[in-house]
Structure 1
Amino acid sequence: MKTRATPINPKNRFQSIVTDRECDDGWYQDPADEACPDSLATEVTEEQARSIISRNRSPDIPFDQSINPYRGCEHACIYCFARPTHAYWDMSPGLDFETRLIAKPNAADQLRRELDKPGYRVSPIALGINTDAYQPIEKQREITRDILKVLVEYRHPVSIITKGALILRDLDLLSELAGQGLCTASVSLTTLDNSLKRQMEPRTAAPATRLKIIRELAAAGVPTGIIIGPVIPFINDHEIEAILEAGAGAGAERASWIMLRLPLELDELFQDWLQRHFPQRAEHVMSRIRDLRGGKSYQSRWGERMTGKGPYADLVRQRFNRKARSLGLGGHEAEPMRRDLFRRPGGEQMQLI
């Protein structure tokens, strides 16, 4: 599938009956047959969200509130830990996750309602964590921009992680928030190799463009960091030092890393991708991943799921820390964002009206 990370749609874990269509039986396939396209257009349906702020209590995640304007992600990163969530909507974590998206057009209005509740307690909102808030359909939908407008209005702190150049469209809002100590951004920088980028995360911004994003965010006064996420053994792990150097040179202030995670259906999808693109080293990659996860493809234990454990995990940590220190890059979190500026534009008594 051109510009898609995977051509397969494995069943999700809730399906009891599975139907597959085989385009090519090995004998003949008409290249003009539209039943077997070489790519698929993105389909978007709409959902009227009943709530928009998600909350978590995971001790190894540095935020407790997040907003996801979309379900599914057109960026199509093969390693995305969020792919299995598409099963909750009776869709496959495979090609469906990349091509059948759900937008939340009432997100900004719902956010206002939740921020206006008398019992709301201010805590930084992480924007676009499960799926990228700046994926391509945001250009037309502008749901993320509408959310940012609300956060500016309420003077609410927000952090953003993205691979999308569209974030630069919103520099006016982000710089306004950052000027009040209310915004940070992180750019996911997984490789400097354009060929690997196209295979691994086909619809994301190119490596050079992501460095441009860092430069322009930093120039606008937005505290910006990089995330090497994920580190994939024998695929991009050799780039750790080069990525840190490039990020620091572009103006990043901090850096962090995450080891590849393969929960649920993602295990099958990633292994299929390995066999398609790196068949000679596929078993070597998976062997190292299992070493990191106690003999399994994935281990969900808090404190270990983001890094794995064992000699290889220790080596990655040491390499990363040594290089980051030499470049003056801080840890994962930026300076704490302000919470004392929060206001309700309608006034604190508006709920009584």
Structure 2
Amino acid sequence: MAEAAKGRGARSNATGRYEPETLEAFDDGWTGEDAEVAPLRTTLTPERARTIITRNSSPDVGFDRSINPYRGCEHGCIYCYARPAHAFMGLSPGLDFESRLFWKPGAAGLLEQELARPRYVGRHIHIGGNTDPYQPVERELKATRSVLEVLQRFNHPLSIITKSVLIARDADILGAMGREGLASALVSITTLDRKLARAMEPRASTPAKRLEAISRLADAGCPVGVGFAPVIPGLNDHELEAVLEAAAKAGATSAMYVTLRLPLEIKDLFREWLEDARPDRAARVMSLVRQTRGGRDYDPEWSHRMKGEGPVAELIGTRFRAALKRYGLDGPRPALDTSRFRVPADMKKQLDLFDAA
């Protein structure tokens, strides 16, 4: 078992699935005399994107377009469903995903261009559908905030999800848009146990800070929900009710959950982490996970990939619905207003000048 890198979730850095050669670390017997491994540093590379809005046709995600200012995620959540996407960059979904990040410096300008196109129709955009839009470096880069500013100028409806208290920095925008029916937020809280959170999500905000983010967004006027995602049977599922109760007290008005998904490389990365971080319950957790996936590590079928199936999955769903009602999180979610979308006058003038040229 590889030694855990300080502040990182993955225990290894296996080659991406598209690479022609596979590299694998092994113990050569000289560990005791080897020099200490240098700390893993995070690198950030600009990505020159041509577009900023990503479209999808997935029937079970609730939106058909999203914006991701960053690729990779320094939070290091071991279960993150976005990890396999790093293989498209020729990188590992393991430690590379957590330490070799990309960002889109021209995100705001690209977004303005796309929203101003004559045929564009304003519909709900989700921010953070792949990786968290509030990376630690967002404090300086403000890529996500620049996207929010553009959407506010265009009166464009949005939703946003994060595990970071940094979202509270943008409560001025999200609160103002939320009061107008143009924005909603979701804060993901998988556990209230700080020790488990540090092991499972090593660089994400602490559970207490995420509750603080819910409170600050709610106070600002932005409708905010809590995501108990993923539910990991045998590891954090016993906290379902406690997390929803704490979030409701902080100001959340809705909730959602997703049962642990282990597609592609994630299944090996998660098992490796589990055997290292929680060896006493690793076999039990994987057994319960397979019971929600028809005996497999993962079932990708649209109809039940988010919730799973079978008695274990059904019990989680029953408990979740009961907790929604108990803590007042079962009310209708306010619909985002798509009717107010407009291209600002100054943008129209710029486009007229461009057309004239």
TM-score class normalised by the smaller sequence? over 0.9
Aligned to 1:335: 334
Aligned partner of residue 300 in structure 1, secondary structure: coil
Does 2:219 align with 1:219?
Answer: yes
Q: CA deviation at 1:265?
A: 0.3
Contact 2:183–2:223 under 8 Å retained in 1: yes
Aligned partner of residue 315 in structure 2, secondary structure: helix
Contact 2:81–2:261 under 8 Å retained in 1: yes
Aligned partner of residue 28 in structure 1, secondary structure: helix
Q: CA deviation at 1:27?
A: 4.7
Moved more, 5-14 or 160-169: 5-14
Q: CA deviation at 1:23?
A: 7.2
Segments of 5+ residues of structure 1 without an aligned counterpart are none
TM-score by length of 2: 0.94
CA-to-aligned-CA distance 1:232-275 (integer Å, 9 cap, x gap): 01110000011111011111000111000000000000000011
Distance 2:25 2:326 in 1: 53
Aligned to 2:145: 145
Does 2:243 align with 1:249?
Answer: no
Aligned partner of residue 235 in structure 2, secondary structure: coil
Contact 1:184–1:334 under 8 Å retained in 2: no
Q: CA deviation at 1:25?
A: 2.8
Q: CA deviation at 1:24?
A: 6.5
2:201 maps to a residue whose letter is: E
Aligned to 1:237: 237
TM-score by length of 1: 0.95
Contact 2:14–2:23 under 8 Å retained in 1: no
Q: CA deviation at 1:292?
A: 1.2
Aligned to 2:53: 53
Aligned partner of residue 227 in structure 1, secondary structure: strand
Identity between Structure 1 and Structure 2 (%):
48
CA-to-aligned-CA distance 1:289-339 (integer Å, 9 cap, x gap): 1121112111110121001000011100001111110111026x7211111
Distance 1:185 1:64 in 2: 17
Contact 1:108–1:147 under 8 Å retained in 2: yes
Q: 2:20 aligns with which of 16, 27, 31?
A: 16
Structural mapping, 1:237-316, within 5 Å: 237-316=237-316
- The count of corresponding residues between Structure 1 and Structure 2 is 348
Contact 2:155–2:182 under 8 Å retained in 1: yes
Distance 1:62 1:316 in 2: 21
Displacement over 4 Å in runs of 4+: 21-24
Aligned to 2:113: 113
Distance 2:126 2:28 in 1: 44
Distance 1:328 1:26 in 2: 59
Q: CA deviation at 1:348?
A: 5.3
Distance 1:214 1:287 in 2: 34
